[in-house]
Each structure stands twice: as structure tokens, then as C-alpha cells.
Amino acid sequence: MTINILRLQAANMAVVIGGREQFHRQLFRVLGPFQRIDIQFDHFLAQHHPLAGSESFTPFLGTEIFGFQIRLRQQVLLEGDVQTGMPVFHLAPADPELFRAERFPVFGADISTTGYYGFPLHGGVVKIANHGPGRAMHPSSTTARQVTDEEIVALRAFLADTFPALADAPLAQTRVCVYCDTRDGHFWIDRDPARPRLVVATGGSGHAFKFAPILGDLIADAALGRPHPKFRWRPEAAPAKSDEAARAYTPDR
């Protein structure tokens, strides 16, 4: 629903939203010839500055189409390199009444050290996910998009200690949420210095959706050559860990 509303608002402001074919044609017109590949996700286009906002696919988009590399969380992201996967669980509680919103609100369970957060009952299930260090994966990998046995065991241990009534609840569904991480945990919104007509807006690092109301202004400023200092093109940034505590911890620290 939210995505559809944003698309309608963008269309009302004359932003062209298209799939991979339109993106290819726009890049060819603005940046010149390149080797065409198939890209299975959408891109948002502006008339004079194509905008690549492909999140976890963005580093690979650059490598595969243009032969250049976008430096994000890894020292250099190359084709076949990684992004970060986070497990998401939907549990069917034996007693749904315990987990209705009036009793069981949205929570973050000391998220800077456990990474777990969740939501009240919806559609008969309780959603609990982890926002932590995650695990390296390629966004196109089908096997890496499966929650692992180790992640399920860790969830069960957390539930047994925190929400015992969910500890043995059946898993109705699981999936892996893929993050596009920068090394410092901040957005990456700027023109590509080598191709100043190409604007890159990525590096959500697990917190982009909640900032959706302000991202448009940040991206527009970048397209006009006024990137936010914290989110600028910064290949020199190489912190030892993310600035976000929840993403920097290790379970044995």
C-alpha cells in the first residue's frame, strides 16, 4: 500500500517510473553504449539524471553494466561478492489472544545486543526478525535466501528466554531480508564522480524504509549536485564497524 502511494505521488510530480527496459534505454541515451544485461528489478528515472536505486543489487549493477565498482560495506564489491541477509520468522502462537496488539506491542528486545524485534499478531501470525550483523550473501542466491537451522535455533533460544509462549510455536513462514550495507551504516546518495549524470541512491543498511519521507529530498539534492555530507560518495570511508550498535555487535563480545 505504502509503495503504491509513493509511486502515485512520484507520477504526479512527473517522475518516470519504469522497469529494466526503460532503464537500459535511458542509460544508453545519457551515458552512451554499454553491454546490455537483464536486470530483474525496477529503477526510478528522472529525465536528465537516471537514478539507480536498486538497493542490494546496486553494487552489482555497476560492475556488470559499466565495469566500475561501487564501494560499500566490503572494501570493493565485485561481481559475486556479498550483501547482508537477515532472518525473518512468522510464528503461529498456540494462544493468539496473548499476542494481540493491545497486549503485545511492537518491540525491540535490547536490539543493540540481541538484534531481535517484532510485531503483534496479524493474520494469525507473529512476525519476529533480526536486525544484527547478519550473514554475507549475494542477492541473487536462492539458497542463501533460506533461513538456516542455526538461525532457527538462535530464535528459539531467544524466545525461550523472552517470550516462552512462543518458544515452541510452529513456523508458518520464514524468509531472508537482504540489506544493501555501506561500511559505516549510512546511506549512499550521490552522483557517480566518474559519470556525474548517473545518480546512485542506495546503502539502505536496514533502515531506509522508515526514512522514506525524506529520501526524495536527499536524492533530489544529490541530482542537483548538493549531496548531504554524510551520504556523499565516500570510497575512502573504511570504519572498523558500522556506526549502528545493533549492526556492529558480535554475539561473543
CATH number for 87 = 3.30.9.10
> What is the DSSP secondary-structure string of 50-76?
-EE--GGGHHHHIIIIIS----SSSSS
Same domain, 114 and 132: yes
Determine, yes or no, domain membership for 77.
Answer: no
> What pLDDT score does 78 carry?
34
Phi-psi region of 182 (alpha: psi -120 to 50; beta: other; left: phi over 0): beta
**Residue 198: closest CA among 179, 229, 223, 172:** 223
Same domain, 169 and 187: no
> What pLDDT score does 28 carry?
47
Determine, yes or no, domain membership for 253.
Answer: no
Determine, yes or no, domain membership for 232.
Answer: yes
d(CA 99, CA 162): 13
**Residue 203: closest CA among 84, 100, 49:** 84
- The mean predicted confidence, pLDDT, of the chain is 76
Flag whether pLDDT at 72 surpasses 60: no
Rounded to a whole number of angstroms, the distance between the first and last alpha carbons of the chain is 40
d(CA 125, CA 128): 10
Task: Report pTM.
Answer: 0.72
Better pLDDT: 142 or 56: 142
Same domain, 174 and 186: no
Structure confidence by residue, pLDDT tens digits, 89-98 = 999 999 999 9
Same domain, 105 and 160: yes
Same domain, 166 and 220: no
Better pLDDT: 198 or 156: 156
Beta bridge partner(s), residue 108: 117
Q: Of 179, 198, 215, which residue sits at a domain end?
A: 179
Determine, yes or no, domain membership for 120.
Answer: yes
Q: Of 127, 147, 179, which residue sits at a domain end?
A: 179
Determine, yes or no, domain membership for 7.
Answer: yes
Same domain, 175 and 189: no
Same domain, 141 and 198: no
Q: Which pLDDT band, with edges at 50, 70 and 90, does 112 fall under?
A: confident
Same domain, 144 and 172: yes
Q: Please tell me which of 2-6, 53-57, 105-109 the model is most confident about, judged by mean pLDDT.
A: 105-109
d(CA 214, CA 101): 28
Asked if 232 and 200 count as a contact pair (C-beta separation under 8 A), the reply is: no
Same domain, 29 and 59: yes
Same domain, 174 and 187: no
Flag whether pLDDT at 69 surpasses 50: no
Same domain, 88 and 174: yes
Same domain, 90 and 165: yes
Q: Give the number of domains in the chain.
A: 2
> What pLDDT score does 2 carry?
65
Beta bridge partner(s), residue 83: 137
> What pLDDT score does 46 carry?
42
Domain that holds residue 18: 2-72+182-248
Q: Of 179, 206, 229, which residue sits at a domain end?
A: 179
Determine, yes or no, domain membership for 37.
Answer: yes
Asked if 230 and 64 count as a contact pair (C-beta separation under 8 A), the reply is: no
